[in-house]
Amino acid sequence: MEELTLPNDDKKIIISLHSYFPWQFAGEDTVTWGSERDKSELTAELDKIKQKWIIERDRPVILGEWSTIEANPLQSRINYAHLYAKEASVRGLLTIV
């Protein structure tokens, strides 16, 4: 996110991010997700995206790609998706599954 440069600072550009956070759960290993720490870290990441793009740069944000690997336990994936979509929405971030 830090190195993204917008051409001519065009106000019509919407930011679309791929957000596989935390990577270990989202794309790498089979793990269970859902502790209070896991939830706190996820909401902090969404706060960071909101701060960087919506507040500091006045840009709408689409989280156009996010998920977890299918090998993770189904209930952990459901819990993650529910919290991710809910907390992203609260912050004004649009999610696309």
Question: Is residue 8, in this structure, part of any structural domain at all?
Answer: no
As a whole number of Å, the CA-based R_g of the chain is 14
Tokens representing 78 are 């459901």
Helix (H, G, I), strand (E, B) or coil at 7: helix
On whether the CB atoms of residues 27 and 58 are closer than 8 A, the answer is no
Q: Quote the DSSP letter at residue 11.
A: T
Number of domains in the chain: 1
Span 31-83, pLDDT tens digits: 888 999 999 999 999 999 999 888 988 889 999 889 898 999 999 999 999 99
Predicted model pTM: 0.86
Question: Is residue 67, in this structure, part of any structural domain at all?
Answer: yes
Question: Is residue 5, in this structure, part of any structural domain at all?
Answer: no
Domain that holds residue 86: 14-95
Question: Is residue 42, in this structure, part of any structural domain at all?
Answer: yes
